[in-house]
Copies of this chain bind each other. A is one copy, B any other.
Amino acid sequence: MLVQKYKDMLSGKSVIRQLSEFATARGQEIGYENVFDYSLGNPSVPVPQDLTFTIIYYATMDTQLAHGYSPSLGITSVREAVAASLEKRFGLPYRKEHIFMASGAAGALAHAFRLVTEPGDEILTFAPFFPEYHPYVDLTGAVLKVVPPDTENFQINFEKFREMLSKKVMAVLINTPNNPSGVVYSEETLQKLADILREKSSEYGHDIYLISDEPYREIVFDGAVAPCVSRYYDNTIMCYSFSKALSLPGERIGYVAVNPNCKDAEVMINMCGQISRGIGHNCPPSLFQLVTARMLDQTADLSVYETNRNILYSELINLGFTCVKPGGTFYIFPKALEEDAKVFCEKALKYDLILVPGDTFGAPGYFRMAYCIDTEKVERSLEALRRFVKEQYS
């Protein structure tokens, strides 16, 4: 008999996916270049040319090295390279024993959740949040609970957080720079979060782990650097993906890095190898382990995202939107011009503007624009945006 819980999920279609399908269909009618598709977080800039050369290098040099089995924790030289790079950048004494190579951030998170939660345990995250966290967590048997947003600045609503941080909470999941708000958690936010976690770990007599989902770490604007979450809290499990920084989301390559100051770091990494056996993970692709290990100091040309942020943010403010200025990522999360963001986004479709209502991100009344598209298209979309606001809301 087929398992009902997965069958039941088939009826609940993802809003983002529906919008993206609409955009594709509309594109077939009027030309996709005329659809202002802000629905998907799919990087639009090409991979660095060095990355292509490195693929060719490994694919032609030694096919058994390039395509052979990886050890279950990842290729040793790759883990060493990742550890050395993290140590250099963040000043924590990472060694290969703290690194587990994973199939993107989704793979990394799948291991992190299973490391520290049993069925029935709670994981807290903060709105606005990436909606896939729900199936990621809930299907493990643990329970994801969402702390309501601090809509002033999309940092953390600490009052609500303290209320919800019960003894059942085994892990707190954060995502900074944040999808969908584009906000980077400040040092002050991270310090305060860490203080509360230490206080409550001690009060409850069990460790509370901080799971830090960092795929947007390298996409930060105005010359800033995102504060390194692990530096604030020893029991941090960093989940990284190369998808966004190197523009290869389809290659499923990332890692888990447990803070070297976490007392169980090495055991946890070894446990990841066991968790893999139960979820069919069995290492990320060998070729992309080798390739990304050579690309640790490079990114794709991410400047287009900052350019797009600048154009969109200033236009939205001019048009009277309330909007927290994104410090990174390729998302912006303004307040809709009417209470129901779903109605707002529905109306925008008439102008071929594909916007995603904030409800599934845990922030009703807001909407997300993913501006990982060509700047030229962002510019062309402004006219549609102006018409939309003028005709519908003035």
Contacts and interface: CB of A to CB of B under 8 A. Distances in A.
Interface in A91-113: 102-104, 106-111
Interface in A254-273: 264, 267-268, 270-271
Contacts of A59: 52, 55-56, 59
Nearest to A252: B285
Main secondary structure of the interface of A (DSSP, over half): helix
Interface in A50-77: 52, 55-56, 59-60, 63-64, 66-70
Interface in A332-358: none
Contacts of A116: 1-3
Interface string A238-251: 00000000011111
A346 to B, nearest CB: 25
A249 B46 contact: no
Given A251-B67, A282-B106, A267 B56 contact: no
Contacts of A47: 63, 67
Bin the interface of chain A by size.
35 or more
A286 B250 contact: yes
A136 interface: yes
B280 A106 contact: yes
A324 interface: no
Contact of A250 (B2, B7, B283): B283
B139 A3 contact: no
A47 to B, nearest CB: 5
A301 interface: no
A280 B136 contact: yes
